[in-house]
Amino acid sequence: MEERLGDASPLPVDIVGSSTFGISTKISAQKTYNMYETDGWMASYIGFLSIYGGFINGNIRRIFSSVVSNLLVIVSGDTVYSVQVIVDYNSFPTTYQPIVGIIGTLNTVSTPVYMAEDVSGNILISDTINLNVYSPQGPNIFYPVSLAAAQVTPGYVWFHDNRFIMTCSAVTSGSQSQNFNVTPFWILSEYTVEPQPLVSFPGGTQFTGIMSSKAGFSVGGSYVPSKGNLILVMGQNVTEAWFDVGAQLFPYQKSTAFNIDYGCTNPDTIARLDQYVVWLGTNEQTSAMLFMSDGGVPKPIVTDGIDRLLSTLQFPNQAEAYIFRRNNRIFYHINFTGDNFSLFYDIQKDKIYHASDKDFNCFPLSQVVMLNNEYYAISTSTNLLYVVPSDVYTQDGFEAPYVRVGKTQLLEDQSVFIANDIGFTIREGDTIPQYRAGLPYYLVTQDQKFLITSDTQYNLVTSQNDNSDVYYPRVDFCFSIDGGYTYSQIVGYDLNALGMRQNMLRWWGMGRCNSFTPQFRFYGVNGFVCTDGILNIRQ
């Protein structure tokens, strides 16, 4: 990027960057909302569209993708649904037609729900009060599972080595529950093989594991992808590694080499993909932290600023997470619903970013799963089913806020300088002007700008005036001279019209300062691609 004026000196502007803010904005104000780094550029985070809203018995509690039966299972209110989606890629835009059927009914309407599937296609559904099985391949399509023999109340469930595994939220005696959420037990189902059996949990020492590394209760667990017979069993303040060794008395054997000194705050935050298990953890001496493990000692996912942010959580137990792959990136996304903010973590790049809805509240999607090479999602605050296409960047039609707050520029000798001009490279000229409603056939100039009336209230159309909100993609810029505490007036530029791809996006005359923190906000519905720029200064 060219320098301006003979005595101007260039300073780098880090448009490309993550949320690496410090414990004080004076240290670092760097934040990124709804964008991530790819090949040295910044690109827009995921968008989504609603495709079905016919779940009438309450908000959705859980979505699950069945590999064996090739369908989605959704629990909404007390009703369990099966969903198949017919996708027409030949239409423009792509159309999604859900085919929805009712499977059965639960006895609860709002408790947490967890699901897992075995090799026969049995889908175990725990609503943390009762167990049910959806068996689309067998004669018993939907049936309850008795836990009378095991004498426990169900918790989190997963599947490993032909067994369902379940943590226990209570020990029961007759019809009475005792010691709610203080049991160290986790139990196995009977070995499941084809032809398809009924799922059962017999109880007894042959089917019961006990967490013993620390005092506390069992919370959740996971198999470790790519690690064969290894599972992680997570407690309140410790995680134990267990190996399926095929022993007769109890098939799993606890590792004597190591355990993980952090448990799990909420099983809704457990997610796994590729070779990683990620969760929100804590123990008796620390506040909540994000952890990632490939079966060994976990790696904290943290910066100084993120650690300080998580230490201020008022509701660490109110969190939900999911993991997915997009554009060769594996993202772990977590919503802190009680504290109303969201983060996502790029595992390969080891970088953390902020995510939000259009109003900078918690990101709307609660869970994301894949079916037939498409991602589908739910929000626990709605009764809608969403699709997450790779070419959609709006949040069900609403613009997402894309924001980058860059590094604060300071000269080594702390001297005063004049911020002359600032600019960076951005993709332009590949989107048509956007309008929310109204007629097409707007009158435009030769350079593709819309003709408007002198009071800027109306666009000129061939047949009649219409007050639709017509706008181009835009970038707003403001800056701080006090370390990111306060910012200047916003100055925005429309991006070039369709076909006008050569660009020079630059702002001038920021004035005298001895620290300079840039902030850019991007507005548009087709996503953004941009890279680093230059701040030219004079002394």
**Which residue type does 80 have?**
V
Q: What pLDDT is stored for residue 454 in this prediction?
A: 52
Is 276 in contact with 293 (CB distance < 8 Å)?
A: yes
Residue 29 carries which side chain, given as an amino acid letter? Answer: A
C-beta of residue 525 within 8 angstroms of C-beta of residue 393: yes
Q: Which residues contact 310 (CB under 8 A, 6 or more apart)?
A: 287, 288, 289, 290, 302, 316
Q: Looking at residue 193, what is its pLDDT?
A: 65
Measured distance CA(278)–CA(284) in Å, rounded: 20
Spans of all domains in the chain: 9-44+404-433+472-538
Contacts by 19-22, CB closer than 8 A, 24 or more apart: 19/303, 19/305, 19/306, 19/343, 19/352, 19/353, 19/354, 20/303, 20/305, 20/351, 20/352, 21/303, 21/305, 21/405, 22/304, 22/305
Element (H, E) at 309: helix 304-311
What pLDDT shows up at residue 427?
Answer: 87
99 and 418 Cβ atoms separated by less than 8 Å = no
pLDDT value at residue 303 = 87
Other Cβ atoms less than 10 A from the Cβ of 118: the count is 23
The whole-number pLDDT of residue 25 equals: 80
Q: What local confidence, expressed as pLDDT, does residue 439 receive?
A: 38
Give the three-state DSSP class for 352: strand
pLDDT, averaged per 10 consecutive residues of the chain (539 residues), comes to 62 93 84 95 96 86 95 95 95 92 93 94 94 85 87 92 88 45 83 72 90 88 92 94 92 90 94 95 90 88 90 93 94 96 96 94 96 94 92 92 92 89 87 54 47 48 47 87 89 81 83 92 90 92
Give the Cα separation of 74 and 382 in Å (integer). Answer: 13
Q: What is the CA radius of gyration of the chain?
A: 27
Parallel, antiparallel or unpaired: strands 385-388 and 9-13: unpaired
DSSP letters spanning 230-291: EEEEEESS-EEEEEE---SS-SEEEEEEEEES---S-GGG-EEETTEEEEEEEETTEEEEEE
CATH code of domain 9-44+404-433+472-538: 2.60.120.260
**Which residue bears the tokens 């005036």?**
465
Q: What is the pLDDT of residue 196?
A: 57
Tokens of 475: 């970038």
What pLDDT is stored for residue 131 in this prediction? 95
pTM for this predicted structure: 0.88
CB 277 within 8 A of CB 270: yes
Residue 305, C-beta contacts closer than 8 angstroms, at least 6 positions apart:
19, 20, 21, 22, 23, 28
Q: Retrieve residue 282's tokens.
A: 């804590």
How far apart, in Å, are the Cα atoms of 463 and each of 210, 264, 391, 438, 470? 76, 63, 33, 12, 17
**pLDDT for res 462:** 44
pLDDT at 179: 41
| pLDDT value at residue 296 | 83
